Amino acid sequence: MLQYIIKRLLYMIPTLFGLSLIAFLIIQLPPGDYVTSMIASMQDSGANVDPRQIERLREAYGFNDPVWLQYLKWIGGILFRGDFGHSFEWNRPVSELIWDRMGSTLGISVASLLFVWAVSLPIGIYSAMRRHSVGDYVFTFIGFIGLAVPSFILALTLMYLSYRYFGQSVGGLFSQQYVDAPWSWGKFVDLLSHLWIPIIVIGTSGTAAMIRVLRANLSDELRKPYVITAKAKGLPEHRAVIKYPVRIALNPFVSAIGWVLPELVSGVTITAIVLNLPTAGPLLLRALVSQDMYLAGSFILLMGVLTLIGMLVSDLLLALLDPRIRFT
């Protein structure tokens, strides 16, 4: 196992290099740059733009350097100093902006993931064991609704219900009086009272999808000879199902880790904007729109790194969970 992990980590080095190069090139693909966007905004507001000022800005931001030199400066700062560059729009180090958002992003994403697993696991097992029952049809109907309803529509609906019937302030993670207040028990309770809406909104579509996947996988396992033989020999149904079929059918849950980690960064951007959540998704969108290349490129690179880490963790857990998988 140790040899397998070392081999996978070594494979990740050239992959990360390729990811960094692709991330930087993606930011360079749109025409213009941050100075171009800033000039367009100034002209739209009726301000006069001095060509000499434009040239000074381009020189100060390093846009007159060749693309390869800009890339080497950026990746060199990351490798040797842990410096992801400077955000042009925010006038702050990129690392500060990223880590400021990662706490809330991580909390919401992990809570949503736990919600998905806690709801979809028992429902998926029940639907597979009681196929074509009334309960199965009810959960299937609810699952299809969860897949069909856009997240931002569900967010707006829950925000209205929360304000209309519970008198709760909507949007954000805290009430107005707790936004800048130091942490206390009251602020923690206020956070929990706001957190249920983003958890349900973000987790609904994933829950519906996981229920369908688990139901299909477990239904296939329950028809296999080893399960039928175990039941015929008198093994209680719950033991015959839980010991091996459910364990093998859980593979999609573990595989989901590979895409959950990058979701921590990109998140559900539209939903985060609707709910006014201080997560990484809206910040990434704003960086892309304004062509803040170091901020956007660092986000894209971080998503790639988290994807690689997630796939490694997912493969290791799958090998431990499923005895048919071996480390090679």
> What is the per-residue burial (b if ≥16 Cβ within 10 Å, else e) of 161-184?
ebeeeeebbbeebbbeebeeeeee
**Residue 322 clears pLDDT 70, i.e. is over it:** no
pLDDT at 9: 81
Looking at the DSSP bridge assignments, the partners of residue 86 are 93
Q: pLDDT tens digit string along 41-100?
A: 666 666 666 677 667 767 766 777 787 888 888 888 888 888 888 787 787 888 888 888
Model's pTM, two decimal places?
0.76
**pLDDT tens digit string along 212-231?**
888 888 888 888 888 888 77
- The pLDDT, as a whole number, for residue 52 is 73
Using one digit for the tens of pLDDT, what is the confidence trace for 120-142?
Answer: 888 888 888 888 888 888 888 88
Q: Tell me, what's the pLDDT at 292? A: 80
The crossing angle, in degrees rounded to 10, of helices 257-266 and 94-129 is 140
Is the confidence at residue 267, as pLDDT, over 60? no
